[in-house]
Amino acid sequence: MGRNPAFSGPRYQDIAASLLRDIARGRYPVGRLLPTEVELCERFAASRHTVRDALRIVTEKGLLVRRRGTGSVVIATAPPNVFTHSVGSEEEWMRYPTGTFRETVNTAEIAADRKLAALLKCEPGKRWFRICSVRRSSRIPEPLGWTEIYVLPAYAGVVKRSDHGTTPVHRQVEKMFGESIDRAQLEIFASHIPAKLARPLRVAAGTPALTVVRRYTGLKSGMFEVTVTIHPENRYTYSMELRPQLHAKQL
Amino acid sequence: MGRNPAFSGPRYQDIAASLLRDIARGRYPVGRLLPTEVELCERFAASRHTVRDALRIVTEKGLLVRRRGTGSVVIATAPPNVFTHSVGSEEEWMRYPTGTFRETVNTAEIAADRKLAALLKCEPGKRWFRICSVRRSSRIPEPLGWTEIYVLPAYAGVVKRSDHGTTPVHRQVEKMFGESIDRAQLEIFASHIPAKLARPLRVAAGTPALTVVRRYTGLKSGMFEVTVTIHPENRYTYSMELRPQLHAKQL
DNA sequence: CTTCAGCATTTGTTCGGACATAGTTTAAGC
DNA sequence: GCTTAAACTATGTCCGAACAAATGCTGAAG
């Protein structure tokens, strides 16, 4: 029991691995209490500080809940998340290579008809401020896609800002109105180029396209922005990388 | 300098907040070294342990890199990760609602021609074991899409397993051959239905489609599986939700 | 001038101790 | 018997100290 002779790293990592193994093997089932810190100190012949470091690792993996006076409760037998995807910046999430920009075509306040309401997942008749624009790259003459941005009418002021066109709209809303994003949702599906967009996108109507819908939900005003982008074939690829959760070996 | 009288929480959180503020305000620009632990102990009149707890918080937020002998280097002025996406299971990542299954049409060992090599991001001539199949749902008669799975010829044994068709192939490879996934990459772009697939997918050739490419890279044998799926319009939507990283207030 | 050994610096690991705080249990008092 | 206060338990916070390990610098040897 206790020390693993094959393991040469820090003691607290050894102890954490041992606890992880015990939990995975069912020695401490979900709902059961782990031994107290002092008991673990005795079992592993380590100081309380070292044991706490080990418990911190197990807790960060999401297998424990620890409370004063109560103890450490096992809440899972294995780390729950298999893959994670972290996005560093809005640009990265938008997946638009740097050097692209939006070119506003027109703006208007509109009411959602039934079709638009379905796309935006809002009730029909809801009023939105719509910004229609073309996304371009400095490298190629054809536009990358057609973007329709719908924001709550109260937030229409964003178009007046000077950095409009280069900064993501939801960031502008965050700064100007103190909204904070609670969650963002992404949907991607196949579509075809509508007749209206054939000319601005320089592509034949009815040809294959990729539609990307992004919905931003804030804490203050709920869903405050929806972006719909239509990309003609061969002009845009959504790409993403997932990694198994490393679970914090020290870097 | 030092203690913030308005803050009543633990000392290490107070110190962490102070450091965070200093970094955000540019007192320690990116690339600069933070004061050493001992210096911070003096400035905040705290023990090294407490200061280290504070530095751990700042490090976990991704603003610092710490190395023995060197010190703590500032690598960002604000937490870099804005959104995270965690995927709990393969099914969730695949985004196929439960109740769908794969129906194998044919299998063969092939060599990648130039076009396929570009899609798979491998060298032309590389040999792959290809599994062609149709993904169906029990609810609707039309297939959801056409899937071509390419695995290394050494792993061709996966098709013989009984749970083939319901279990993701990369999971089977993990179990059967002890491969462990290092990273997974996803690409989504617009395409059109090839003439060959018009009949099996029950849709007209040339109509819009969504192509999803998934690449799995393992620790042992590098990229060991690539899956290419073609979905006709209106039969499949890729959906994902991102949330702002909570940054570990204590739970 | 280059190379390498040795030293100083800085963070990493581990020990031992003390008190604070939050939950739980027990016991006293009505 | 119920309510409330005290005691107990377990984790949280904080201190002081020592040594280990990685890095960078300096000076001596070739």
State the smallest CA–CA distance between residue A108 and chain B in angstroms.
28
Protein-to-nucleotide distance from the CA of B67 to the C1' of C20, whole angstroms: 33
Q: Residue B144: count other Cβ atoms within 10 Å of its Cβ.
A: 20
Residues of chain A by 3-state class (helix, strand, coil), percent to 5: 30, 35, 35
* CA–CA dist B122, B100 (Å, integer): 30
Strand D within 7 A of A37 CB: yes
pLDDT digits (tens, 9 = 90+) for B49-100: 999 999 999 998 888 889 989 999 998 887 655 566 666 555 556 555 556 7
Sorted by where each starts, the structural domains of chain B and their CATH numbers stand as 11-74 (1.10.10.10), 90-232 (3.40.1410.10)
Q: Is the pLDDT of residue A153 over 60?
A: yes
> What backbone phi and psi angles, to 5 degrees, belong to B166?
-115, -30
Strand C within 7 A of A11 CB: yes
Cβ-Cβ pairs closer than 8 A, A with B, add up to 149
CA distances from A207 to A145, B29, B169, B188 (A): 13, 50, 33, 17
State the smallest CA–CA distance between residue A214 and chain B in angstroms.
10
pLDDT digits (tens, 9 = 90+) for A136-151: 876 678 888 999 999 9
pLDDT for position A12: 95
pLDDT for position A249: 30
Mean pLDDT estimate for chain A: 82
Residues A31-51, mean pLDDT to the nearest whole number: 94
Strand D within 7 A of B3 CB: no
Closest CA to B78 of B54, B66, B65, B61: B61
CB contacts, 8 Å: A189 with chain B: 210, 233-234, 236-238
* CA–CA dist B108, A149 (Å, integer): 47
pLDDT for position A23: 94
Q: Of the candidates A181, A190, A243, which has its C-beta nearest B190's C-beta? A: A190
Residues A8-28, mean pLDDT to the nearest whole number: 92
CB contacts, 8 Å: B81 with chain A: 86-88
* CA–CA dist B163, B151 (Å, integer): 17
Using pLDDT thresholds of 50, 70 and 90, give the confidence band for residue B162: low
* CA–CA dist B232, B245 (Å, integer): 35
Is the CB of residue B52 less than 8 Å from the CB of residue B40? no
Residues A203-229, mean pLDDT to the nearest whole number: 89
pLDDT for position A171: 76
| B246 vs A61, more confident | A61
